[in-house]
Structure 1
Amino acid sequence: MKQYLKLDEWSIIEEGFDPENHEVSESVFSIGNGHMGQRANFEEDYTGKTLQGSYMAGVYYPDKTRVGWWKNGYPEYFAKVLNSTNWIGLKIEIDGENLDLHNVNVKEFVRELNMKEGYLERTFIATLKEGKEVKINTKRFVSIVDKEVGTIRYSVTPLNFNGELKVTSYLDGDVINQDANYDEKFWDHVATEVTNDYGSVTVKTKKTEFVLCSTKKTELVHNGTKVSFAPELIEKEKFVGHAFAQNLEQGKETVIYKYASNVTSRDHDASQLIKVGMESLQAALNKGFEKMEEEQRQAWADKWKESDIVIEGDVAAQQGIRFNIFQLNQTYTGEDDRLNIGPKGFTGEKYGGSTYWDTEAYCLPFYLSTADPKIARNLLVYRYKHLEKAIENAEKLGFSDGAALYPMVTMNGEESHNEWEITFEEIHRNGAIAYAIYNYVNYTDDKSYLGEYGLDVLVGISRFWAQRVNYVAAKDQYMMLGVTGPNEYENNVNNNWYTNRIAAWTLEYTLSVMDYLKETDANRYEALQKKLNIKGDETSKWVEIIEKMYYPFDEELGVFLQQDGFLDKELIHVKDLDEKHLPLNQNWSWDRILRSCFIKQADVLQGMYFLNDEFDMETKKKNFDFYEPMTVHESSLSPCVHSILACELGYKDKAYEMYLRTARLDLDNYNNDTEDGCHTTSMAGTWMSVVQGFGGLKVRNNQLILNPFIPGEWKSFSFKIVFRGALLNINVTDETIQITNEADVTTPLIVHGTKYEVKGNDTLSIQY
């Protein structure tokens, strides 16, 4: 862990430039708007270590799989969100010297990500040859109002000299992905166009044939006056540029404004992209930087109005939660049901930018509680639209009759992950998708979803589980062999408790949905029964599996066993390990990890988080006390689940420790891997830690339940939730719980076991 960022409630601030931190900062200071995103690369040239990254949502390439030993069922490609046309580029030359922070002396460097208003700003003084000092200030954002536009204000002020500034403003589509399996470039040239005023680059992905058109215009203001210039035009394959010069005067500011639009064939007819891009760009130019900046400020104010969490008395915790909420709002807007949430969002290439089970398990609750229900619904519709692909994925592995196995990693519904222990064995992902349907309906009461989309998915997943189990006659039980549970530090185990339980639970829930539809919408159920070919002998088999599912359990310890044979391991607590061994995944061989008792993330405890009401407090306590001390939390998804359960068990210190770890995972680079991109999906887990953990939020039997407590390090905290038409602001102090309903809907709720009602536009105060 290396904490080098300044603590601030509303901003991420880096003071002083250290090249060793630069790639981490490029991730942390990323900006996005759901349509596109940009790592915090410098606009000017930088020859030091950097990961160039500009990303377009939904634009991907099927990079050919690279494995040493091919196995039947492997996908032929790994889908990757692509590094796209570099639209921020400005080559800055002063008296013939290229401005490059790798080669000049830098002082008074400050980089700030202003989360309240949604922009990235950087200021520094560079000392050039012959002692010339120049002050640079640059501000940029991608608009959440005009989603296809990004804009930059780049200012140059000579401090102790007069000289000449030469600027080359460019678009560069000749980019690569650092994670390309065969060092292949993924973009083909389509067209370039450059005039005195505008430039455009159009490129197309190989194989998938997504077309991206980037257009730009550059304006120049010197000492407050707009300057006309006749640029040198530069045009080559995948590249256009405008080069122009301006005299610099000591103490006077020269400002370069760059506007760029990025439009794709996902949203527009490919033949019309240049026209659409120019129209989008011209609309931005008509507004100008200042108006766009004001619109950005207001749009972010609206977002914070719904999703902010306020923590008083702990700046580190406050900064951490706002950073996580900010990145989530930058990554996914819910407007496009073809899109989902990548584990790195728009901040890096790792994991290919594809969709994992993280969305259903960790991200859905955030969008359920902070946005219109249709946004969370679209996350479920995304999986519904991929049901046929999930059935095809299962067929490739030998399943039949409509059994569906959702992919571990995907862009279009096809599996694109090729590590056998995950692709073939980490099948618990199916359960998270089924649970997400339950979670959505339970929270929103939108039962119409079940007949419209939900049952189709549930039946496909249930058929997979029914075929995946095997009956052991000697024990008269059903078992699940050769799986990997959520704890990826165990591979190819038998009877992972969580996988067995989530499989049986899915069958239970699917049968209950069938019963509900039979009672409430018999015609719809009959149509679905015919469409899905649901038969009585099939559902009878599901009932038998539910009744006879095997769950490993130790009577003496009173705990569910993570899998068969877990107690054969040497049981050691993490606290008893020499710190030189941590993190294990960077210091131990895989063989040693697999033979150890150490747990990467919540496994048994994941089941107790999901199916919380099934277990009494004593059972939760015994399992938490047994498994958490052996958990190294080397998955970014681990601390949040442990924090929530620790809150429920009254382990306040552990809850706070786990919260702070998840909240500042990237800001403090806990796992020494933030340079690859931020852990976007675990950021939703941070929100869960506050709202479901410290806030104690649950929905049970259509009742909103709150069991809040305040960590000793905080003076107060507050959060907002959208619940069935109400917008509730919950403020917790040492003495009171104050709930303000900012909508017209009267809302019943239970707080610490007592029933209350908060009327529309009213406030309820409860004394501890």
Structure 2
Amino acid sequence: MKKYLIEHEWSIIEEGFDPNNHEVSESVFSIGNGHMGQRANFEETYTGASLQGSYMAGVYYPDKTRVGWWKNGYPEYFAKVLNSTNWIGLKIVIDGEELDLYQTKVSEFVRELNMKEGYLQRTFKAELQDGKQLKVQATRFVSIVDKEVGALKYEITPLNFNGTLTTTSYLDGDIKNEDANYDEKFWDPVNTWIKDNRMSVTLKTKKLDFHFCSTVETQIFSNGTKLELTGTAKEAIKYASLVYDVPLTEGESITIYKYAANVTNRDYDTDQLETVSSTVLDLAVSKGFDQLKQEQAKGWANKWLDSDIVIEGDVAAQQGIRFNIFQLNQTYTGEDERLNIGPKGFTGEKYGGSTYWDTEAYCLPFYLATADQKIARNLLVYRHNHLEKAKENARKLGFEKGALYPMVTMNGEECHNEWEITFEEIHRNGAIAYAIYNYVNYTGDKSYLGEYGIEVLAEISRFWEERVNYVPAKDVYMILGVTGPNEYDNNIDNNWYTNRIASWTLEYTIEVLDYLKKSDSVLYQKWIDKLELKDEEVNQWKDIIKKMYYPIDDERNVFLQQDNFLNKELIPVAELDKKHLPLNQNWSWDRILRSCFIKQADVLQGLYFLNHEFDLDTIKRNFDFYEPMTVHESSLSPCVHSILACQLGYKDKAYEMYLRTARLDLDNYNNDTEDGCHTTSMAGTWMSVVQGFGGMKIKDNRLYLNPFIPGEWQSFSFKVVFRGARLLVQVDQEKVTIINETTTSVDLSVYNNQTQLDGKATVEIAL
């Protein structure tokens, strides 16, 4: 862990330039708007280590799978969100010498991500080899208001010389993904044109026929006056540029503006892309940089109105939670039901940018409580739309019925090719089922069950029905050969979490069938007929529920992570020399698999999901047993531990785990942020505050709150939207204040004291 970023309530700030931190900063300072995103690459040339990244949501490529030994059932490709045309590029040459921050002497370097208003700004001074000094200020954003628009402002001021600036403004589509399996470039050229101060590059993918058009206009001002310049046009394959020569006068600023319109044929007819891109650009240019930036600030103010969390007295904690919320809002807006949430968002290429079970397990709660109900519903509809592909995935693995949702996907088809995950990490099916329960429990929208939910639940249940293994000698059902959420144990038998979430899915499916039968017999019969669901099959599910085997240690009275877990040498992480950590960067896989160490919550994941089924003593025994052996080398681990620690009253552990999840990328805990930020785990940070320190739960159509405040904080507050009401919950060291900001009353329980909070009403309760 290396801390180098300045702590600030509303900004991420880097002071001083260290090339060793640059790739981490490129991830942390990324910007996005749900439609597109951009890593914090420099506009000017940088020849040091860098991951150039510009990404368009939903545009992907089926990169050919690369494995050492092919196994039946392997996907033939790994879907990857594509690195697309670099629209921010500027080549800056001063009297023949190129500005390159890897080669040039740099001072007074400050990089700031302003999260309150949604822009990235960078200032520095540079001294060239011949002693010329200049000051640069660069500001850019992608619009949260006009989703296809990006804009940048690059200001250069010569400090001790007169001379000539030769600047090349370019669009570079001749790029590739750093994670391309065979070093292949995924884009083919379609068209390039340059006219006046505009240029455009249109590309298409070599497979799947995605088309992407980026059109840019460049403007140059001197001391606030627009220069009427004609640039020298240069074209190449997948590349366009305009070169301008501008006189420099000591102390006077030259400002370069670039406005970009980025559109794809996901949203428009392919033959209309260039026309649409130009029209979008016309609007952006007519507004100008300052108006676009003002609209950006207002757009982000609206985002923060519903989702902000305020922490007083702990700047590190405040910065951490706002950074996580900011990245979530940059990554997914919910406006497009075809999209989902990739583990790296728009910040990098690791994991291919695809959809994992992270969305259902960790992200859904954030959108349930901070956005319109339809946003969370769209996440569920996304999975329903992929149900047929999930059935195909099951058939590919040899199952005759049921659906197996993919571990990694872009279109519903499995595209992950590590056998211990692709074939064995089947607990992901349970997360899809749990998301349906979570959504209905939170919103009360039971119409979803009859419209979409029961079909998904029934097909997942059919998968579990076939996947279990009946053992006649013991009269039990087991699930063999799996990998649980803890990926530091592979190909194990009877992972407690997998067995429990499978059985629970069957239970919930039967519960939903019973509900539909009682509430709408016609709709119930429609589904029975469509699914060809017989009583015999439902009875089989009931038998599995009754006879599911769960590994338990009777001596400790804890659920065992899997069969034979106690055969391992049980060592707490605290006894490991820190030189071994992180294990995945220092130990062989063989050594990891033989150890007791846990990558992420496994048994505890089940105790979090199904919290209502277990008493506090059961949670405590299992937490006390497993947490000391957990290395938290999955970004998804600390949040679950923080929430359970809050429930158990382990205040110090809860705070420790909160800081770890909140500042995972800011402090680069796992030494891997250069690959991109851990976007989906950021929702876990929100959960740590709202469900952990806020103690929020939903039971029997009532909102429960059980807040406590860490000693390091003076106060904290958060907002939740629940059943049409928006509540502001404020907690300080003495009391809890809950303000209903809407006219909708809400059933509420605080410290198990039930009340109805009327519209516009306020209630105060002693802490």
Instruction: Give the structure-1-normalised TM-score.
Output: 1.00
SS class of match (1:58): strand
* Deviation string, structure 1 residues 533-589 (Cα, Å, up to 9, x no partner): 111100010000000000001111000000000111110000011111111111111
Q: Distance in 1 between matches of 2:126 and 2:654?
A: 45
Check whether the contact 2:91–2:98 (CA below 8 A) recurs between aligned residues.
Answer: yes
Aligned to 1:714: 713
Q: Distance in 2 between matches of 1:470 and 1:246?
A: 75
Deviation digits for residues 198-248 of structure 1 (CA, Å, limit 9, x no counterpart): 110000011111000000000111011111101101111101111111111
Match of 1:196 in 2: 196
SS of the residue 2:343 aligns to: coil
1:590 aligns to what? 589
| Distance across 2 between alignment mates of 1:48 and 1:384 | 45
Cα contact 2:197–2:219 (8 A) shared by 1:
no
CA–CA separation in structure 1 for the residues paired with 2:340 and 2:718 = 25
Structure 1 gap ranges (5+)? none
Q: Which residue of structure 2 lines up, in the alignment, with residue 340 of structure 1?
A: 340
Q: In the alignment, residue 564 of structure 1 is paired with which amino acid?
A: D
SS in structure 2 opposite 1:235?
strand
Gaps of 5+ in 2: none
- Secondary structure at 2:13 match in 1: strand
| 1: CA distance, partners of 2:525 / 2:243 | 68
Give a deviation string over 1:573-614, Cα, whole Å, max 9, x none: 000111111111111110010001000000000000000011
CA distance in 2, matches of 1:569, 1:332: 42
For residue 271 of structure 2, give the secondary structure of its aligned residue in structure 1.
helix
2-side partners of 1:441 and 1:144: how far apart? 29
Q: Write the deviation string for residues 312-354 of structure 1: whole angstroms up to 9, x where unpaired.
A: 0000000000000000000000000100000000000000000
2:598: which partner in 1?
599
Contact 2:122–2:137 at 8 Å: present in 1 too?
A: yes
Matched, 1:146 2:146: yes
Instruction: Measure the CA separation in 2 of the matches of 1:522 and 1:321.
Output: 46
Distance 1:479 1:748 in 2: 41
Q: Which residue of 1 aligns with 2:623?
A: 624
1:738-749 equivalent positions in 2, closer than 5 A: 738-749=737-748
Report how far residue 765 of structure 1 moved.
1.2
1:274-285 mapped onto 2 (5 Å cutoff): 274-285=274-285
Query: Residues of 2 paired with 1:756 and 1:165: CA distance?
Result: 69
Name the counterpart of 1:434: 433
Q: State the match for 2:23 in structure 1.
A: 23
1:517-596 counterparts in 2 under 5 A? 517-596=516-595
Q: Equivalent residues in 2 for 1:675-754 (5 A)?
A: 675-754=674-753
What is aligned with 1:227?
A: 227
Give 1:505 shift.
0.1
> What is the alpha-carbon distance in structure 1 between the residues aligned to residue 662 and residue 142 of structure 2?
24
Counterpart position of 2:67: 67
Residue number in structure 1 paired with 2:92: 92
Which runs of 4 or more aligned residues in structure 1 lie more than 3 Å from their structure 2 counterparts after TM superposition? none
Q: Does 1:373 align with 2:373?
A: yes
**Alpha-carbon distance in structure 1 between the residues aligned to 2:230 and 2:54:** 29
Report how far residue 756 of structure 1 moved: 2.0
Q: Distance in 2 between matches of 1:268 and 1:378?
A: 21
- Partners of 1:719 and 1:291 in 2: CA distance: 31
Per the alignment, residue 480 of structure 1 pairs with: 479
Q: Decide which moves more: 522-531 or 143-152.
A: 522-531
Partner Cα separation in structure 1 for residue 471 and residue 252 of structure 2 = 83
Q: How many Å separate the matches in 2 of 1:690 and 1:698?
A: 12
Following superposition, the deviation at residue 734 of structure 1 comes to: 1.0
Deviation at 1:197, TM superposition (A): 2.6
Instruction: Specify the code of the residue in structure 1 equivalent to 2:95.
Output: D
Q: Secondary structure at the match of 1:647?
A: helix
Name the SS for the 1:60 alignment partner.
strand
1:673 is aligned to 672
Which residue number in structure 2 is paired with residue 175 of structure 1?
Answer: 175
Distance 2:21 2:115 in 1: 20
1:273 counterpart letter in structure 2: L
Inter-partner Cα distance in structure 1 for 2:716 and 2:422: 41
Q: Secondary structure at the match of 1:81?
A: strand
For 1:650-707, what per-residue CA distance to the aligned partner results, in whole angstroms no more than 9, with x for missing partners? 0000000000000000000000000000000000000000000000000011110000
* 1:505 aligned residue: 504
Match in the other structure for 1:269: 269
Alpha-carbon contact 2:136-2:154 (below 8 Å) kept:
yes
Could you tell me which amino acid in structure 2 is paired with residue 697 of structure 1? M
Secondary structure (helix, strand or coil) at the match of 1:41 reads coil
User: What secondary structure, in the 3-state scheme, does the structure 2 residue paired with 1:108 have?
Assistant: strand
SS of corresponding position for 2:297: helix
Q: Distance in 2 between matches of 1:72 and 1:757?
A: 58
Counterpart amino acid of residue 343 in structure 2: P
- 1:536, 1:165 → 2: CA distance? 79
The C-alpha deviation readout for 1:745-768, integer Å capped at 9, x for no partner, is 011200001012222122111123
In 1, the alpha carbon distance for the partners of 2:451 and 2:167 equals: 56
Match of 2:58 in 1: 58
Give the superposition deviation at 1:129: 2.3
Match of 1:102 in 2: 102
**2:458 counterpart of 1:459:** yes
Q: Count residues with an aligned counterpart.
A: 767
1:332 maps to amino acid: Y
Contact preservation (8 Å) 2:707, 2:731: yes
1:77 is aligned to: 77
Amino acid at match of 2:733: D
**Distance in 1 between the 2:109 and 2:308 partners?**
29
Q: CA RMSD in A?
A: 0.6
Within 2, Cα distance between the matches of 1:555 and 1:129? 73
SS at match of 1:57: strand
> Per the alignment, in what secondary structure is the counterpart of residue 25 of structure 2?
helix
Amino acid at match of 2:268: H
Aligned residue number for residue 187 of structure 2:
187
- The equivalent residue for 1:469 is 468
Q: Structure 1 vs Structure 2: percent identity of aligned residues?
A: 72
In structure 1, what is the Cα distance between the partners aligned to 2:248 and 2:756? 66
Q: Larger deviation: 452-461 or 753-762?
A: 753-762
SS at match of 1:82: strand
Aligned to 2:10: 10
CA distance in 1, matches of 2:294, 2:527: 50
